Amino acid sequence: MIFNSIDFAIFFPAVFFLYWFVFKRSVKLQNAFLLLSSYAFYSFSDIRFLLLLIGVSLTAYFIGLGLERSVSGAVRGFLLADGILLMAATLGVFKYYDFFFEGFILPLGISFYIFLSLSYIIDIYRRKMKACSDPVDALLTLSFFPILLAGPIQRPVSLLPQIQKKRDFNYDLAAGGLRQILWGLFMKMLIADNCAVYANDIFANSDTYGGSTLLIGAALYTVQIYADFAGYSEIAIGISKLLGIELMRNFAFPYFAKDIVEFWRRWHISLTSWFRDYIFLPLSFFISRKIPSERFLGINTDMFIYIAGICFTWLLTGLWHGSNRTFIVWGLFHGSLLIFYHVLKKPRKKVLRSLNIRHDNLILVSFERIFTLFAVMISWVIFRADSLHQALAFISGIFSSSLFSKPEFAGIRRINPVLIFGTIFFLIEWIGRNETFALEKFGLKWKRAFRWTFYPALILCIYFFGNFSSAVEFIYFQF
């Protein structure tokens, strides 16, 4: 079941009504109902893998209890290792078996709920949270349906306390949630799905198009993947607000970032922070304990640790997205950009100081934003391509002399609405860039007549110009 489907339009209002009007007097009943609703939501996609979800969640639950009750360091270490190995093996079998054998079915959302379970186990081991003794609360924390298929990867340490406490309906929170859902649907159905029509054609026939068309295809996919994935996150966060639960922000207008480090602080925040806290920092600490000297292999030890940590972390980040070699190269490409930025950080400051240019100079910042966005766009070509060969050919085509030819592709004469709404989309995003989502405060100070005209106008735009040819799945469902 996907958020932009008729099925969900029937499912969620029923859940909302029963949750607030039938079970509101008891948080235990609310949680039991939400857990059953989450399992029903997941079963709608493929009931065969519901047992896998329950099995992973129960494994995390019992290991968590064991970690909480054990006082022996050796026993706790064994339980932690056992839990990590079980989760990693489960993810490996289902996600990477297809790397060697075709035709294997990938359970929806497996990467996301495996990471939720790993967070739960590791944080209990680190004593950052206590294990939950109530199986319903614990399983709901690891299976909450708004985040089940594509995140945000909400850490149990912050989600569980919200699930355990009594929740009262909050009008302001719910109203904000509705605005966030509306913006998410606008992003997905009007922007992402319409961009997909043209981007899919250009990537499918990339060997027949010139550089100018390929550049347009890369730009369209760059917009598509952001509007698609951030749109999902906005809807998920908005739905949770309607249920009285607040989730972490997952996107912070990443295409306005002025460098690659800032981009990754703004893009898929729940995943990048997960890799930082559970992979990069522990690995860096481990390496630092093994290298007592100030230099290693001829370079500064801190620099070596950073390079080693970044390379390993981004290799895993690429692998997390799938077994296709393009994902591995995509991950290493971003790792290389981060290392490149880190190496040039001090020399850049010296050059700017010598030229008497402030770091917030408008021309400089504008150039850095454009350069960063272009580098990210090239990386999305690698990410989207079916093979490394196609990715290299696609990128080579962009930089060929045909870049200056007239673009021509199927449907080019019908692309104007996409360009118009895309421009409106980024203008609203730019205006709301200091908020947690674009519509959080957009228009709230307008007169009521104007404000209540704007929201129906967005709905009408989605209805008349959105892509309703089919209920298009969100891109990140495949991960």
Q: What's the Cα-to-Cα distance from 93 to each of 7, 104, 443, rounded to whole Å?
A: 31, 10, 49
- Extract long-range pairs of 201-206: CB within 8 Å, 24+ residues apart: 201/409, 201/410, 201/411, 202/409, 203/384, 203/385, 203/386, 203/390, 203/394, 205/409, 206/390, 206/393, 206/394, 206/397
Residue 276 structure tokens: 């930082």
Q: What's the Cα-to-Cα distance from 465 to each of 118, 223, 459, rounded to whole Å?
A: 41, 17, 10
User: Half-sphere exposure of 158 toward its Cβ, with a 13 Å CA cutoff?
Assistant: 10
- Position 42 scores a pLDDT of 94
DSSP-assigned letter for residue 356: T
- Position 182 scores a pLDDT of 96
Mean pLDDT for the stretch of residues 317-328: 90
Q: Which active-site residues does the annotation give? A: 321
CA 453 distance to own-chain centroid: 31
Q: What are phi and psi of 46, to 5 degrees?
A: -165, 100
Q: How far apart are CA 13 and CA 8, in angstroms?
A: 8
Percentage helix, strand, coil for the chain under 3-state DSSP, each rounded to 5: 75, 0, 25
Mean pLDDT for the stretch of residues 37-65: 93
- Extract long-range pairs of 328-336: CB within 8 Å, 24+ residues apart: 329/382, 329/388, 329/391, 330/379, 330/382, 330/383, 333/379, 333/382, 334/260, 334/264, 334/379, 335/310, 335/311
Q: What is the DSSP string of 123-165?
A: HHHTTSSPPP--HHHHHHHTT-HHHHTT-----HHHHHHHHHS
- Position 290 scores a pLDDT of 84
The per-residue pLDDT of the chain, averaged, comes to 92
- Indicate the range of 37-41, 184-188, 210-214, 473-477 predicted with least confidence: 473-477
Stated pTM of the model: 0.93
Is residue 46 very low, low, confident or very high in pLDDT (cuts 50, 70, 90)?
A: confident
The pLDDT tens digits of the residues spanning 266-299 come to 999 999 999 999 999 999 999 988 887 777 777 8
Under 8 Å between Cβ of 42 and 106: no
Q: How far apart are CA 168 and CA 313, in angstroms?
A: 41
139 pLDDT higher than 80: yes
Is residue 103 very low, low, confident or very high in pLDDT (cuts 50, 70, 90)?
A: low
Residue 370 structure tokens: 């454009």
Burial class (CB in 10 A: 0-12, 13-18, 19+), 304: middle
The pLDDT tens digits of the residues spanning 393-417 come to 999 999 999 999 998 888 888 898 8
Is residue 227 very low, low, confident or very high in pLDDT (cuts 50, 70, 90)?
A: very high
Overall size of the chain counted in residues? 479
The pLDDT tens digits of the residues spanning 423-475 come to 999 999 999 999 999 999 988 888 888 888 999 999 999 999 887 765 567 88
Alpha-carbon torsion, ordered 130, 168, 180, 5, to 10 deg: 90
Q: Of 400, 393, 119, give the one whose Cα is nearest residue 275.
A: 119
Q: What is the DSSP string of 363-392?
A: HHHHHHHHHHHHHHHHHHHHHHSSSHHHHH
- Position 170 scores a pLDDT of 95
101 pLDDT higher than 60: no
Is residue 160 very low, low, confident or very high in pLDDT (cuts 50, 70, 90)?
A: very high
- Position 334 scores a pLDDT of 97
Mean pLDDT for the stretch of residues 362-385: 96
Q: How far apart are CA 46 and CA 38, in angstroms?
A: 13
Q: How far apart are CA 332 and CA 314, in angstroms?
A: 6
223 pLDDT higher than 90: yes
Residue 327 structure tokens: 């994902």
Q: How far apart are CA 154 and CA 421, in angstroms?
A: 31
Mean pLDDT for the stretch of residues 245-260: 96
Mean pLDDT for the stretch of residues 126-146: 96
Mean pLDDT for the stretch of residues 138-154: 94
Burial 1-32 (b: 16+ CB within 10 A, else e): bbbbeeebeebbeebeebbbeebbeeeeebbb
**Amino acid letter at 384?**
R
Q: What's the Cα-to-Cα distance from 455 to each of 58, 181, 182, rounded to whole Å?
A: 43, 12, 8
- Position 410 scores a pLDDT of 83
The pLDDT tens digits of the residues spanning 324-372 come to 899 999 999 999 999 999 999 889 889 999 989 888 899 999 999 999 9
- Position 383 scores a pLDDT of 96
Q: How far apart are CA 400 and CA 387, in angstroms?
A: 20
Give the percent of the chain with pLDDT over 90. 76
Give the percent of the chain with pLDDT over 70. 97
Q: What's the Cα-to-Cα distance from 389 to each of 214, 314, 380, rounded to whole Å?
A: 15, 21, 15
Question: 168 by DSSP, 3-state: which?
Answer: coil
DSSP-assigned letter for residue 470: S
99 pLDDT higher than 80: no
Q: What's the Cα-to-Cα distance from 63 to each of 112, 179, 345, 351, rounded to whole Å?
A: 19, 39, 43, 53
Residue 165: count of CB within 10 angstroms of its CB: 9
- Position 469 scores a pLDDT of 64
